[in-house]
Structure 1
């Protein structure tokens, strides 16, 4: 596979390429991400201030509490900003996930463990299977919560590189599968429990609340959807994304920033194509054994009847210290085996090497750490001002005023959720707002709350991989720029669109099959309320 230098992109051969190239060109005319979010911050500041002066309020249906939109350029707003500037940055949610995992993955990668495992596991695997493997891992990645967005893409890139395929296809495909399929899984996750809790909270006042909603109320629907989306993700990576990257001449090697980094990258690329040495095999063996022991210790610690990682009811769902410890578990499962492997093969000779390897990982993400400052300010202002709630309620009211019924009403609901997902990235926050409006509304026309929740999941995921408001898009852009320094948000949006539209359509088709065949979405939960 050739690696064409930037700027030598071949002429698009088909209409699809021309359309995506057009979207990419338009998208890349957007300002640099830092400036873009600074502009968005100022726009929200001005709009929120105008709405505040106009006395705009919002009331979530089903609640007596009235929220007044607050403006930044007011006495209250300026005080809020000056007091919370540092907290807005350090409290930026992705930092809590990205930084610890970044340090841990840095130890595992820079010690050579990740490359060695990939060569061992995928060295004899059929090349055609890799896109589908990435699709499976990506869609199931929601079991790791937000950590999936940080862990899966770079590992998928390494897997593709080791097999002689385009690493950027693995990088982008892994992110797309993890993001566009985030709300579904073959396993019951914390998100299922969270959504169920929100749905249950708004059904108490309904004359006919339907069947109780619990974490497995959408399980049959999730299981079927995840299989379809896994296969679809693999197909798109294999037949659409990677061929387009090759036609565009996107480099397959990281751009060398300086001589030292260039030497490290050449060494890495050579290592990926070489056979494992005896000492590397021994290092993997010890790393895997220690990893298994660590996993066993964690399992034993949490399954004990009086485990402190259980919740007050003695379980794990919907919330528990265990589910809140996902970042720690991922951190430990990368760091400990990485240290063991490095010690065995000699890439780690002493304690001083550990912070050095972590520092190398942080250096790769410096631009994101700078960008996170303005991202944190923007998201904090968006949430504090109340504009997000106002947008959700206004959209819901508009849809309700149209008077749609039946499955077209569900399609309108999904479309609205997809549009709101461009502005409100948190699925739990958006469902909290939308459930209060739509669960009672759809109950009045005969739909089970669990079915409305299932429909929401479709709109909740697909579009989050094309919105600049998704902070993990910026993390991905930082990774992509190692291969394409000139890549911008338009580049990412154009390459994510081939996933968004098919995922959305396929997911709607699966939902329509359940709807028209009147199939249960989960144990005891159907489509229509019993009369």
Structure 2
């Protein structure tokens, strides 16, 4: 019996390795990101023009008129492109977030503060615990919205390297967790507020809209999942990802070829393996900690008192407020302020020229990302302007509607459809805007609460983020990864993140099934049925 089980385990492991290797090979056959998005832009231009010539249009439920597909190779299309060429690039939201936060991380890292802090905190911590800490931090950090995908992975790589573990496991494990488990946090986030607002708008026209959808309508499901996914993520990093990297002998050190990239350089000191800090480093960390506390106190003073400027119009924080809108700025401040103080105390900063050099070095490191974002922004802008993204989402919804699923099978199919469409439409709010108009009324006719439908959408929308080749953040992570593996491609990241997507999807759907069958509410007053 034992022999049979071992053989089955070996066969399963071989199949998984074969599948993952196949995904990596297929993904790496994709062109380089720059060429890939140029080809996609060209394909969308041709397809949209052809569909426009045949008069294809899409009617979004609730809209008075159908929205026609617009072709790029037309008078209107060429006018749109030439007049919006710069705005498409400059107005691309992730560009500003990435560059802003990388400048802050660059200062905190190049002064030596992050290196000293990590050695101080993790130098004597048990190595076995790190994957679970990374899983928890990467998940909880989603309260920073997209900023978590930029800040946490490189820091996780530094933590792993300081502890003598594989830095790429920290990098990719944090990326996969932060994206596949996006918005799964014990805290109410801006995503909760945004999605609930869209759901409420879609449910307004229903004769029986059920329980009002609020930012906490999915809290009973999301909060426990944040702990479960953190533990699962730790297991995947520890038992799957890192052993695979060791078997493949993926380098643990940055390559000499990456002198201008994300690797070590004279102004970016490497982590040392010991936890011992020199007196000036300890003094720098104390002053940096004081600076951070003062900064936090100032933010709280502008937030907590009644009528404080960081509160919303109604005195609260949800669904919107200056506090939520300032997340990127607050993260920037929390990195730059202690980083500058540390640099001044330890004399790694002796003048303004040093600060400018650190910021410039950080931007230089990401020059390749900026080039890729230029064509990526044009592609996504065309995809939206042409109406193909709307046509794709509505067509998928109609396909599911025509399948005439009933019962929980319809919810499962909806989750899988949301995950599939998410590979092509990176913005969860944009996708839910289209989906909610179709599916909230449709599932209401089947007796499902709008808040429950929203919870189902979040499963598909989150879990496939990690393997979407069109995600703007996968390009950022690829830049970090190539510091260790210069020949790594999109397929490398997709293959290594795939176990997180698959396992998160199965576990999250299993939780939703238990909630459905047991009648457990997914949020205050929000059950599965009206």
TM-score by length of 2: 0.95
Where does residue 477 of structure 1 map in the other structure?
478
SS of residue paired to 1:34: helix
Deviation at 1:263, TM superposition (A): 7.1
Distance in 2 between residues matched to 1:260 and 1:319, nearest whole Å: 40
Distance in 1 between residues matched to 2:479 and 2:510, nearest whole Å: 35
Deviation at 1:259, TM superposition (A): 7.1
The superposition leaves residues 44-71 of structure 1 with CA deviations (integer Å, 9 ceiling, x where unpaired) of 0111111111111111112224211111
Distance in 1 between residues matched to 2:15 and 2:447, nearest whole Å: 44
Distance in 1 between residues matched to 2:446 and 2:113, nearest whole Å: 56
Where does residue 7 of structure 1 map in the other structure?
none
Where does residue 137 of structure 2 map in the other structure?
137
Where does residue 454 of structure 2 map in the other structure?
453
Distance in 2 between residues matched to 1:313 and 1:230, nearest whole Å: 35
Where does residue 410 of structure 2 map in the other structure?
409
Given that residues 302 and 308 in structure 2 are in contact (C-alpha distance below 8 angstroms), is that contact kept between their aligned partners in structure 1?
yes
Distance in 2 between residues matched to 1:263 and 1:439, nearest whole Å: 51
Where does residue 4 of structure 1 map in the other structure?
none
**What residue ranges of structure 1 are gaps of 5+ in the alignment?**
1-11
Where does residue 265 of structure 2 map in the other structure?
264
Question: In 2 relative to 1, CA 267–140 (structure 1 residues): closer, same or farther, beyond 3 Å?
Answer: closer
Distance in 2 between residues matched to 1:383 and 1:303, nearest whole Å: 40
SS of residue paired to 2:521: coil
Where does residue 349 of structure 1 map in the other structure?
350
The superposition leaves residues 341-386 of structure 1 with CA deviations (integer Å, 9 ceiling, x where unpaired) of 0111111111111010111111211110111110111111111111
Deviation at 1:272, TM superposition (A): 4.6
Deviation at 1:264, TM superposition (A): 2.8
Given that residues 197 and 214 in structure 1 are in contact (C-alpha distance below 8 angstroms), is that contact kept between their aligned partners in structure 2?
yes
Where does residue 513 of structure 2 map in the other structure?
512
Where does residue 254 of structure 1 map in the other structure?
254
Question: In 2 relative to 1, CA 451–276 (structure 1 residues): closer, same or farther, beyond 3 Å?
Answer: same
Distance in 2 between residues matched to 1:466 and 1:299, nearest whole Å: 38
Deviation at 1:17, TM superposition (A): 2.1
Deviation at 1:471, TM superposition (A): 0.4
How is 1:372-451 mapped onto 2 (pairs within 5 angstroms)? Answer: 372-451=373-452
Distance in 2 between residues matched to 1:45 and 1:122, nearest whole Å: 51
SS of residue paired to 1:269: coil
Where does residue 194 of structure 2 map in the other structure?
194
Where does residue 5 of structure 2 map in the other structure?
none
Given that residues 224 and 510 in structure 1 are in contact (C-alpha distance below 8 angstroms), is that contact kept between their aligned partners in structure 2?
no
Where does residue 6 of structure 1 map in the other structure?
none
Where does residue 112 of structure 2 map in the other structure?
112
Given that residues 450 and 525 in structure 1 are in contact (C-alpha distance below 8 angstroms), is that contact kept between their aligned partners in structure 2?
yes
Deviation at 1:22, TM superposition (A): 2.1
Bigger mean CA deviation after superposition, 304-313 or 342-351: 304-313
Where does residue 8 of structure 1 map in the other structure?
none
Where does residue 172 of structure 1 map in the other structure?
172
Given that residues 260 and 365 in structure 2 are in contact (C-alpha distance below 8 angstroms), is that contact kept between their aligned partners in structure 1?
no
**What residue ranges of structure 2 are gaps of 5+ in the alignment?**
1-11
Where does residue 330 of structure 1 map in the other structure?
331
Where does residue 93 of structure 1 map in the other structure?
93
Given that residues 115 and 272 in structure 1 are in contact (C-alpha distance below 8 angstroms), is that contact kept between their aligned partners in structure 2?
no
Given that residues 27 and 491 in structure 1 are in contact (C-alpha distance below 8 angstroms), is that contact kept between their aligned partners in structure 2?
yes
The superposition leaves residues 116-137 of structure 1 with CA deviations (integer Å, 9 ceiling, x where unpaired) of 1111111111101100001101
Where does residue 9 of structure 1 map in the other structure?
none
Question: In 2 relative to 1, CA 326–270 (structure 1 residues): closer, same or farther, beyond 3 Å?
Answer: closer
Given that residues 116 and 272 in structure 1 are in contact (C-alpha distance below 8 angstroms), is that contact kept between their aligned partners in structure 2?
no
Where does residue 51 of structure 2 map in the other structure?
51
Distance in 2 between residues matched to 1:238 and 1:349, nearest whole Å: 42
How is 1:57-76 mapped onto 2 (pairs within 5 angstroms)? Answer: 57-76=57-76
Where does residue 20 of structure 1 map in the other structure?
20
Given that residues 156 and 171 in structure 1 are in contact (C-alpha distance below 8 angstroms), is that contact kept between their aligned partners in structure 2?
yes
The superposition leaves residues 158-189 of structure 1 with CA deviations (integer Å, 9 ceiling, x where unpaired) of 00000000000000000000000003211111
Deviation at 1:260, TM superposition (A): 9.1
How is 1:199-348 mapped onto 2 (pairs within 5 angstroms)? Answer: 199-257=199-257, 264=265, 268-269=269-270, 271-273=272-274, 275-348=276-349
Deviation at 1:237, TM superposition (A): 0.4
Question: In 2 relative to 1, CA 235–266 (structure 1 residues): closer, same or farther, beyond 3 Å?
Answer: farther
Deviation at 1:431, TM superposition (A): 0.8
How many pairs were matched up? 518
Distance in 2 between residues matched to 1:267 and 1:211, nearest whole Å: 53
Deviation at 1:310, TM superposition (A): 2.4
Question: In 2 relative to 1, CA 13–463 (structure 1 residues): closer, same or farther, beyond 3 Å?
Answer: closer
Deviation at 1:223, TM superposition (A): 1.1
Deviation at 1:303, TM superposition (A): 2.2
SS of residue paired to 2:257: coil
TM-score by length of 1: 0.95
Distance in 2 between residues matched to 1:464 and 1:258, nearest whole Å: 28
Given that residues 98 and 147 in structure 1 are in contact (C-alpha distance below 8 angstroms), is that contact kept between their aligned partners in structure 2?
yes
Distance in 2 between residues matched to 1:333 and 1:400, nearest whole Å: 48
Where does residue 80 of structure 1 map in the other structure?
80
Distance in 1 between residues matched to 2:369 and 2:268, nearest whole Å: 26
Question: In 2 relative to 1, CA 192–259 (structure 1 residues): closer, same or farther, beyond 3 Å?
Answer: closer
Given that residues 58 and 393 in structure 1 are in contact (C-alpha distance below 8 angstroms), is that contact kept between their aligned partners in structure 2?
yes
The reply on whether 1:502 has 2:503 as its aligned counterpart is yes
SS of residue paired to 1:317: coil
Deviation at 1:320, TM superposition (A): 1.8
The superposition leaves residues 411-470 of structure 1 with CA deviations (integer Å, 9 ceiling, x where unpaired) of 000010000100111111111111111111111111111110111110011111111111
Question: In 2 relative to 1, CA 42–524 (structure 1 residues): closer, same or farther, beyond 3 Å?
Answer: same
CA RMSD of aligned residues (A): 1.7
Deviation at 1:314, TM superposition (A): 2.3
Distance in 2 between residues matched to 1:25 and 1:444, nearest whole Å: 44
Deviation at 1:217, TM superposition (A): 0.8
Bigger mean CA deviation after superposition, 359-368 or 261-270: 261-270
Distance in 1 between residues matched to 2:187 and 2:65, nearest whole Å: 36
Distance in 1 between residues matched to 2:43 and 2:427, nearest whole Å: 21
